[in-house]
Amino acid sequence: MIDRLEALARISASAVRTRSETIPLAEADGRTLSAPILAKLTQPASNMSAMDGYAVRDVDFVQGKTLKLVGEAPAGHPYKGDLGENECVRIFTGSVVPDGADRVVMQENVSREGDAVTLIEPKSPSLHIRRAGIDFSKGDELIAAGTRLTPRHLSIIAAANHGSVDVYRRPKVAVLSNGDELRPPGSVLSEGQIIASNGYSLCALINAWGGEAIDLGAAPDDRAEIARRIESAGEVDLYVPIGGASVGDHDHMKPVFQSLGFEEVFSKIAIKPGKPTWLFKKGDARVLGLPGNPASALVCAHIFLKPLVQTMIGAELSEGWMNVILAEDIPANGQRETFMRGHLAYDEDGRQIVVPAGNQDSSLLSPFIHADVLIHRPSSDPAKSSGDKVSCLRLD
């Protein structure tokens, strides 16, 4: 049995990064860049007006002076020619500033009669011009490789003149529950049967973390059927079996994967909940086995499955650790490192606090409804009092 940090190190060392692929920018949200985004152009390419008004030469700006209007420059239609002495050009926000112009006078600060434009306000400090390259210049690295793209990235990628992006392929992750007692939601249950629930949250988490989940359903305690389900998934980067990993007569997951040529990387972790978490490998394929208890499976998914998927897609690891004030007393911890479910709140002084869930039984799903953190308890951690700070892992 190994500790959590050793397990994470072996997971990281064992992870196989997926290949790069090129996809349309419209499909890039949530994907991870395999190459940096370099600007293909300068933004803006020219000096641009920041206001509706009149482009003038600075030397001609004298309060009360009248200038001759010689043309206009709507957005997308630059004025052709140089601005001469005592001349001005009607200009609009986002228009190219004519050659020779030094500033834009807001339209509110002039009076106009036909082609005669009189400057009625004193010269202001602002030129109302956005200089070429103020946003970015051609060749600038705008977004680094390994960045998980979000909506805030897409506009600048488009502005940098990229219609497609290079990203890591989403790893195919097959989720397989196991147990004779498991039935799909909506079933009429006989005595001893329960609903197979773990797969739904795990598939959603895998997709949210950048993978492509494949739900293989719930296989009975039959090795031939388990093997058939595994092989039915086709080419898979990662298998996530749930349950069936202890040493009982009806625990078949490990023997089946071993019969298919997979080798052990580790078989147990000194953690609570989640001791039966295990890792196998074969070629570029990996198996991360999770415990069958619902809370154990979800806790271990956040601790071990998330960084594995992130490593496979070349993403920056987002661990989400934080120190938070404990809202209530908790007893001393045992020998195994422990993660307790809890939720963040604020006390009457406006301080952020963490409230442990009332029941930490690993079979219970209800504490996860409000849980947004896992409270970390090191091995043999002494009792903690309300007001003490504890380390927490965000659930996201």
CB 342 within 8 A of CB 391: no
Catalogue the E-assigned strands of 251-368.
263-266, 271-272, 278-282, 285-289, 321-326, 337-346, 352-356
| Alpha carbon 204 to chain centroid, angstroms | 14
Residues 281 and 178 in one domain: yes
| Domain limits for position 178 | 4-18+170-312
Residues 183 and 292 in one domain: yes
pLDDT tens, residue by residue, 170-213: 999 999 999 899 999 999 999 999 999 999 999 999 999 999 99
Tell me how far apart the alpha carbons of residues 75 and 21 are, in angstroms, rounded to a whole number. 37
Tell me how far apart the alpha carbons of residues 302 and 205 are, in angstroms, rounded to a whole number. 9
Residues 234 and 306 in one domain: yes
Residues 260 and 180 in one domain: yes
| Alpha carbon 254 to chain centroid, angstroms | 32
Q: What is the pLDDT of residue 22?
A: 99
| Among 272, 294, 312, residue at a domain's last position | 312
Q: Let me know if residue 27 belongs to a domain.
A: yes
Residues 31 and 54 in one domain: no
Q: Let me know if residue 135 belongs to a domain.
A: no
C-alpha triplet 299, 305, 309: angle, nearest 5°: 150
Q: What is the pLDDT of residue 396?
A: 83
Provide the 3-class DSSP secondary structure of residue 251.
coil
CB 71 within 8 A of CB 52: no
CATH number at residue 109: 2.170.190.11
Q: Let me know if residue 177 belongs to a domain.
A: yes
Residues 101 and 179 in one domain: no
Kind of pairing, strands 66-73 and 110-113?
A: unpaired
Q: Which two tokens stand for residue 18?
A: 């997926």
Indicate if the alpha-carbon torsion angle 8, 380, 376, 391 is positive or negative: negative
Q: Let me know if residue 137 belongs to a domain.
A: no
Q: Let me know if residue 142 belongs to a domain.
A: no
CB 127 within 8 A of CB 54: no
Please name the residue that has the structure tokens 């196998």.
Answer: 280
| Among 268, 283, 312, residue at a domain's last position | 312
* Burial class of residue 63 (count of CB atoms within 10 Å of its CB; 0-12, 13-18, 19+): exposed
Which neighbouring-strand residues pair with 37? 143
Q: What is the pLDDT of residue 317?
A: 83
Tell me how far apart the alpha carbons of residues 378 and 272 are, in angstroms, rounded to a whole number. 10
- Name the CA radius of gyration of the chain, rounded: 31
Q: Let me know if residue 222 belongs to a domain.
A: yes
pLDDT tens, residue by residue, 85-144: 999 999 999 999 999 999 999 999 999 999 999 999 999 899 999 999 999 999 999 999
Residues 188 and 305 in one domain: yes
Residues 307 and 358 in one domain: no
Q: What is the pLDDT of residue 251?
A: 75
Residue ranges in the chain modelled with pLDDT below 70? 246-250
Residues 202 and 306 in one domain: yes
Q: Please name which of 388, 178, 391 lies closest in space to residue 276, comparing C-alpha atoms.
A: 178
Q: Please name which of 167, 152, 161 lies closest in space to residue 33, comparing C-alpha atoms.
A: 167
Q: Let me know if residue 28 belongs to a domain.
A: yes
Residues 301 and 182 in one domain: yes
Q: Let me know if residue 136 belongs to a domain.
A: no
Residues 75 and 34 in one domain: no
Residues 159 and 225 in one domain: no
| Among 312, 336, 360, residue at a domain's last position | 312
CATH number at residue 176: 3.40.980.10
CATH number at residue 352: 2.40.340.10
* Number of folded domains that form the chain: 4
